[in-house]
Amino acid sequence: DVKVTQSSRYLVKRTGEKVFLECVQDMDHENMFWYRQDPGLGLRLIYFSYDVKMKEKGDIPEGYSVSREKKERFSLILESASTNQTSMYLCASSPTDRANIQYFGAGTRLSVL
């Protein structure tokens, strides 16, 4: 079974803090993704990566950055958290040969106060 693990289920941070959300997958997948999920808006892609040290912007990258130093780990960074970044964050991964089949982590619910 593919396992995508997000380091925290719940996180509370203050405005202006630097926030790291970590994601690890154990299936040697090349592709990794970060989404945010908001009621009525579905999932929106923030960033994705198709190889180590490679990254591409998704639909809503503003205010976020990412890091992929190792194949299994994909980090989402909020350089200076703001209240409008309060959301559920989902990480996903997929293999290159079946790139459209994504496997999701349980999500991190981030509250920025």
Partner 1 sequence: AQSVSQHNHHVILSEAASLELGCNYSYGGTVNLFWYVQYPGQHLQLLLKYFSGDPLVKGIKGFEAEFIKSKFSFNLRKPSVQWSDTAEYFCAVTVSSGSARQLTFGSGTQLTVLP
Residues forming contacts to partner 1 in the complex (CB under 8 A) are: 4, 31, 33, 35, 40-45, 48, 50, 58, 90, 92, 94, 99-102, 104-107
Nearer to partner 1, 31 or 75 (CB): 31
Nearer to partner 1, 6 or 81 (CB): 6
Nearer to partner 1, 29 or 81 (CB): 29
Give least dist CB 43 to partner 1, A. 4
Q: What is the DSSP string of 67-112?
A: EEEETTEEEEEESS--GGG-EEEEEEEE-GGGTT--EE---EEEEE
CA distance 41 to 72: 28
Burial of 102 (0-12, 13-18, 19+ CB in 10 A): buried
Give least dist CB 111 to partner 1, A. 18
Give least dist CB 70 to partner 1, A. 19
Nearer to partner 1, 4 or 66 (CB): 4
Strands of the sheet containing 4-6, edge to edge, are: 4-6, 19-25, 73-78, 64-70
Give least dist CB 65 to partner 1, A. 18
